[in-house]
Chains A and B, each alone.
Chain A
Amino acid sequence: MVKTLSKLEQLVRRAVTKGLAEVEVYAVHTISKQFSVASDMIIDSVVSEDYDIGLRGAFNKRIGGVRTNTLDGDVDKILEKLYSVTKSSPEDPYWSGFPVELRETKQVSCYDDKVAAMSEEELVEVLEQAMDAFKEPPLRSGAEKASVVEGSFSVRESRIVVINSHGVERSVRCSNVVLWLSLSTMKGGAIADKTFAYWKRKLDIKELEDKALRNGELALLFLNASPIESGNYDLVLVPETVGEILTYSLAPAFSALNILENRSPLKGRLGELVFNEDLTISDDPSIEMAAGTAPFDDEGVPTTTKPVVEKGVVKSILHSYYTARRMNTAPTGNGFRQYPAAPPTPRFTNMLVNPGQGSLEDFVRDISKGIVVHEIIGYWMSDPVTGSTKATVTHGLLVERGKVVKPVKGVVIGGNIYEWLSKGLLGVGKDLEIIGPAAAPSLWIKEVGVAGK
């Protein structure tokens, strides 16, 4: 990386000699280890080391990008390519340059040195323990069979570098731990399955095993699941499903770019009561070792913790440097890229939904007709522009008069997230869970349309 870093610096210095007024480099060096699981065993193991380098250049309000995975060879050739691409691009009238004069970043750690130092053998042991913990509860409860049919465990260590020709120079080392396992279990001849995921910047073996055990305990609840009658049902979304739904149907609406370009229902609603007063949502880059925890964004701008919704009122929106300049305000440290040469667009670091006072058990007790939604698919096809939210429930529990009566699968839940989170919101749980770059409690939503039999 040291050799590559000095090449990147050289590249930025030489950019101006090639006719580019500004240049920005975003580079990632990644070392990763991954183990895939099939039928309780490892089916393959991967170790890899990679570079992914993005360059963006600008002159006369024209901006272009080049992505490569190697700087072997002539740096001048890359710059000539970048100049040629940039020259081809028409002017962006709103362009006001790459970031300049940034304040210092806060101390936010995103690196777990212990997991980075673990050998392949040690990681395999962790994976084995997680699989055993997942299988143990159903076997203890008399299941004839419990098997981890599929899964994956990966540990990644990345060095991220952001440099631009205005003197911005940031570098950080982050780790990323992702594990997901799918369990199949059989009891009394009936089959059920359950999937769970662990996704953080650190490996907490105790937390991982607790999660595996908890999900293993849930598995047998879904034996003989089937669709139910169509109708209106209250929904209790467990934290995992809250995180999944809000990430796709709500989070993009806080992007300043989407607001500027007429793709957000929150346009013009800053300061308004849009949501239920029990709802507070923040952008929080400092949650301890969560997947989106980071000291700066992909432009080198320091990240900051701030509420976007406070007691139902829209308090702030998320900016990249570009959108902040367009709206004549300060960048918020939310400029992230889809890949290294892509322009940064605003998104959450970690989206935190503040916990409330309720509990899943309380919600169930108070429901006359509802579904506790444990796993969903297709939620990513929800639409953040309209707020239209839809998902198919693969693991649900039907509740009637305060009691769980049977498991449910294959039904579609649908509605609008702005209705669900305003007059539809009946309860916010205290059971906060961190799931990747989202942290959320359970939510109880009133009378949602369900399509079933």
Chain B
Amino acid sequence: MLDPGILVTLRDELGADFIDARVQRYYSELVVLDNGVVRELSINSNQGIGVRVIVKGAVGYSSTNSLEEAGVKEAVLRAYRVAKASSKHSIQVDFYRRPTLKGKASSRFNVDPEDVDFSEKIELLKSMDSVARSVKGVASVILRYGYEADRRVYISSNGDHVEYSKKMLGVSARLVAHVEGTYETLYDQESGVAGWELIKGLKWDDWISERARLVVDTARAGHAKPGKYDIVLDNDMVGLMLHEAFGHASEGDTVLAGGSVLRGKIGGRVASELVTIADEGLVDGGDFVPYDDEGTPKRKVHVVKNGVLTEFLHSIITAKLLDGEPTGNARVMSYRYPVLVRQTNTYMEPLDWGAEEMIRDMRRGLYVKGLGALGGEVNPLTGAFTFTSGPSYIVENGEPAKLVKGVMLSGLILETLKSVDAVGKDLLVRTSVFGGCGKDGQTVRVGDGGPHVRVRGFIIGGG
């Protein structure tokens, strides 16, 4: 394994300010069952090192898949040269100085998924497939088993040496119903940072049966009329909303660039006083981020506390330039990519309402459900964000009365969360091995969630 000493030597030889490296060994498995036929069974293993050189305030990156010292030296030289080449037009960055970091962490598991034969994984999907296709109206079923083992080591010319590893796995389903000439689709997944015991601990036949019946029912359902609604969002939807509505706009690199409507608003009211939003690396049900890809221990950050914007998410560079402290949010998709400021597990802290109580009290509106939701997107500069839901319910007389197809929700960062008037007590955070959050061409795993939450006057459309 590489020693930070090599980076210290290179830094001194080149007269650079700072050099760091991210070493990654990655292994994944994917099984795709498409209408009962194995469409794909593949494994993926790769490894490499990404280096960053900061020289006179300019930042250069390069990568190599050689883990030998000579390959690393060559990558450092390439990164140094490109930093110099662009220095005339570069921001003069600085970075947060900190004591040398040493650390190690691994996610927990009981049964290593790599020790489980593929035949067992295929059998699981085949059993789910036959359950799904026995439901009348189901026309197409794609099931996936996904697993990844990600081992990362961070070293720097500051002498830092931090390593962490995680195992993550899950199952997803994409169902199509064809009922009376109408198509409907539903996607859902269940993942966790765990071992094979996660798979063994779930009743997958029940899981898929419930979703198969839902997609058929939804094919017969109508659309919600476009307009403004009072809504209750379930746990998954709250996570999606926060991730888009506040998470991205609070990322230090976006703020630094002038690309966020939250810039200059620290200390200002941005949400109802019921709203407290956390970004935390280790949460039940969420992703596993004990350290970020600059070796910084991930600490719990309250982006919004009681409705007031309190802190942005930072790397060592944005912390220095925005007068903050590193928060452990500097992340990369893989060793090949430059560091971006990213969310980890974003969630709203629970309060005291029961979910049913909240719906009963609303009387009339929409109960927006996350099962089948596809995700969201934000333009942090304009402040507009959007996300979709799964099949949801029109609420009449305080009861979920009528199923409607998934909707698209749209809000404005500085306005929407001011209309939150009830926060539930049922915190739930989820993650996914099949996707994550995309930014500037990089997808990283994230978790999100919260309790049930009620928002007044939300724009709902997409029917």
Contacts and interface: CB of A to CB of B under 8 A. Distances in A.
A453 B91 contact: no
B338 A44 contact: yes
B386 A377 contact: yes
B462 A388 contact: yes
A105 interface: no
B61 A44 contact: yes
A72 to B, nearest CB: 8
Interface in B97-134: 117-119, 122
A150 interface: yes
Nearest to A264: B183
Interface residues of B, number: 86
Given A42-B89, A64-B41, A449 B461 contact: yes
Interface string B443-463: 000000000000000011111
Given A35-B86, A392-B384, A263 B140 contact: yes
A392 B410 contact: yes
A263 B65 contact: no
Interface string A56-69: 00000001111111
A452 B65 contact: no
B386 A85 contact: no
B42 A64 contact: yes
A378 B44 contact: no
B91 A67 contact: no
Interface in A122-164: 124, 127-128, 147, 149-150, 152
Contact of A41 (B38, B91, B386, B459): B91
B83 A45 contact: yes
A387 B463 CA distance: 11
A342 B61 CA distance: 29
B3 to A, nearest CB: 21
Interface string B352-390: 000000000000000000000011111101101111100
A147 B257 CA distance: 10
A149 B257 contact: yes
A147 B253 CA distance: 16
Nearest to A382: B462
A378 B386 contact: yes
B40 interface: yes
A227 interface: yes
A150 B41 contact: no
Interface string B72-110: 000000110111011011110100000000000000000
Contact of B410 (A63, A262, A451): A451
Contacts of A235: none
Contacts of A86: 41
A188 interface: no
Given A262-B176, A390-B461, A409-B384, A88 B410 contact: no
Contacts of A37: 257
Most buried by A among B52, B90, B381: B381
Contacts of A412: 226, 386, 408-410, 459-462
A46 interface: yes
B42 A85 contact: yes
B37 A94 contact: yes
Nearest to B339: A44
Contacts of A44: 52, 59-61, 338
Interface string B315-343: 00000000000000000000011100000
B248 to A, nearest CB: 11
A230 B61 contact: no
B35 interface: yes
Contacts of A39: 91, 256-258
B382 A381 contact: no
Given A45-B59, A50-B336, A149-B258, A68 B45 contact: yes
Interface of B: 34-35, 37-48, 52, 58-66, 78-79, 81-83, 85-86, 88-91, 93, 117-119, 122, 139-140, 176, 178, 182-185, 226-228, 253-254, 256-259, 336-338, 374-379, 381-382, 384-388, 405, 408-412, 440-441, 459-463
16 contacts: A38-B91, A43-B59, A44-B52, A46-B62, A93-B37, A124-B88, A263-B139, A385-B176, A385-B184, A385-B185, A390-B408, A392-B385, A412-B459, A412-B462, A413-B461, A452-B228
Given A45-B60, A263-B185, A341-B44, 8 more contacts: A42-B58, A48-B62, A65-B40, A67-B44, A90-B38, A147-B258, A262-B178, A378-B377
